[in-house]
């Protein structure tokens, strides 16, 4: 059962479920707030004269006793017909502003807590990401990009893959390995279409080169790892980066190994159209069973879009093997 509540934040709350003929709920794993697009009937029978929808209002969505979305109205559209269009985002939308931060010897968890505290944002469960980042100097950078960079550094340095997301009104950081769902999707379960792709055209590297300028010797140190067999097969695909000046040789070599593990492989992606299940959102692992592709494994949901229209609930998933 679907429930949509609108809070005008002036003491008025409205159950608008019956006047929303369609909605679309989208989540992305990296770099974006989740969004909710609603169509609302503006002249429904028995509608209260005080009813209104305004920017800044809170919208809360639950379905089948599951918390789905808690966010804020950012756009209201009106036309000559009998409907309103409303777009809302969760509180990660407020991380799209720019600011300057300097961090030294902080984990990604601590960086999230600091930025959230400065913005007065609500936080929930923030997992300990473990890796202490020697330094981050971010001048006039998007706050969400700063957080994503900290999480990327945690992954590259072998401490696991973590995700920042809004958990029904509170910012949370959780390890992806802990976000598996038991909803199988495939030949005999929910799926009615798919598109599968295997590629080395994006984010695949078989040679990693890291350089560091040694201030004491005045020389540039070069650290290199490569897979000669993959180079012979695919050609040389090089990833190049400059090491943080505070990193020692052991740390740089460990980073080389981690980058080779992450990048030295084909990137496989899968797009699925299926009957909707609101337990699935970007950042969770779902078991995929497709006999034609020989797939019987968990995939990571990169993007998820739920569409509810009348009595139909469908979803489109963009998936990735990790």
For the stretch 64-95, pLDDT in tens is 989 999 999 999 998 878 899 999 999 999 99
CA 12 to chain centre: 32
pLDDT in tens, 223-246: 999 999 999 999 999 999 999 888
Identical fold, 2-89 and 95-176:
no
Contact 149, 103 (CB under 8 A): no
Task: Tell me what pLDDT residue 288 has.
Answer: 94
Q: 181-219 pLDDT, tens per residue? A: 989 999 999 999 999 988 999 899 999 999 999 888 888
Give yes or no for residue 322 having a pLDDT over 70. Answer: no
pLDDT of residue 49 exceeding 90, the answer is: no
Mean pLDDT over residues 292-309, rounded? 94
The CATH number of the structural domain formed by 179-200+267-320 is 2.40.30.150
* 112-121 confidence digits (pLDDT tens): 999 999 999 9
CB atoms within 10 A of CB 109: 19
- Range 138-163 burial, b when 16+ CB lie within 10 A, else e: beeeebbebbbbbbebbbbbebbbbb
- 46 pLDDT more than 70: no
| CATH homologous superfamily of 95-176 | Baseplate protein-like domains (3.55.50.10)
- Is the domain spanning 2-89 CATH 1.10.3470.10? The answer is no
Q: What is the pLDDT, as a whole number, of residue 82?
A: 86
Q: How far apart are CA 135 and CA 246, in angstroms?
A: 8
Look at residue 295 and tell me whether its pLDDT is greater than 80. Answer: yes
Q: Are strands 123-126 and 171-175 parallel, antiparallel or unpaired?
A: parallel
How high is the pLDDT of residue 80?
77
pTM as predicted: 0.86
Q: Report the pLDDT value the prediction gives residue 206, as an integer from 0 to 100.
A: 97
**Beta strands at 83-89 and 35-41: parallel, antiparallel or unpaired:** antiparallel
Question: What percent of the chain is predicted at pLDDT more than 70?
Answer: 99
CB distance 72 to 88 below 8 Å? yes
Reported as a single tens digit per residue, the pLDDT across 139-191 is 999 999 999 999 999 998 889 999 999 999 999 999 999 999 989 999 999 99
3-state secondary structure of 231: helix
pLDDT for res 267: 87
The residues spanned by each domain of the chain are 2-89, 95-176, 179-200+267-320, 207-263
Distance, in Å, from the CA atom of 41 to the CA atom of 131, rounded to the nearest integer, reads 50
């Amino acid at each position: 059962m679907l429930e949509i509540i609108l809070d005008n934040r002036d003491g008025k709350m409205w159950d608008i479920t019956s006047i929303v003929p369609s909605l679309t709920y989208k989540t992305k794993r990296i770099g974006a707030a989740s969004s909710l697009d609603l169509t609302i009937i503006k002249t429904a029978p028995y509608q209260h004269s005080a009813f209104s929808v305004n920017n800044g209002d809170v919208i809360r969505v639950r379905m089948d006793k599951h918390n789905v979305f808690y966010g804020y109205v950012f756009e209201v559209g009106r036309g000559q017909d009998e409907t309103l269009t409303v777009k809302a985002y969760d509180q990660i939308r407020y991380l799209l502003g720019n600011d300057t931060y300097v961090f030294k010897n902080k984990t990604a968890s601590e960086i999230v807590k600091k930025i959230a505290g400065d913005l007065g944002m609500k936080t929930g469960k923030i997992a300990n990401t473990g890796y202490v980042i020697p330094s981050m100097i971010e001048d006039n950078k998007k706050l969400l990009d700063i957080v994503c960079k900290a999480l990327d550094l945690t992954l590259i340095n072998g401490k696991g893959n973590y995700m920042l997301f809004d958990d029904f009104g509170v910012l949370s950081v959780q390890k992806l390995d802990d976000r598996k769902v038991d909803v199988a999707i495939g030949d005999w379960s929910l799926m009615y279409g798919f598109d599968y792709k295997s590629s080395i055209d994006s984010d695949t590297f078989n040679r990693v080169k890291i350089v560091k300028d040694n201030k004491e010797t005045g020389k540039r140190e070069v650290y290199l790892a490569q897979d000669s067999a993959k180079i012979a097969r695919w050609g040389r695909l090089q990833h190049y980066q400059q090491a943080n000046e505070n990193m020692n040789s052991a740390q740089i070599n460990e980073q080389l190994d981690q980058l080779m593990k992450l990048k030295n492989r084909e990137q496989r992606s899968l797009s699925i159209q299926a009957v909707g299940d609101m337990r699935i959102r970007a950042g969770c692992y779902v078991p995929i069973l497709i006999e034609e592709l020989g797939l019987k494994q968990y995939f990571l949901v990169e993007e998820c879009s739920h569409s509810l229209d009348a009595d139909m609930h469908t979803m489109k998933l963009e998936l990735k093997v990790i």
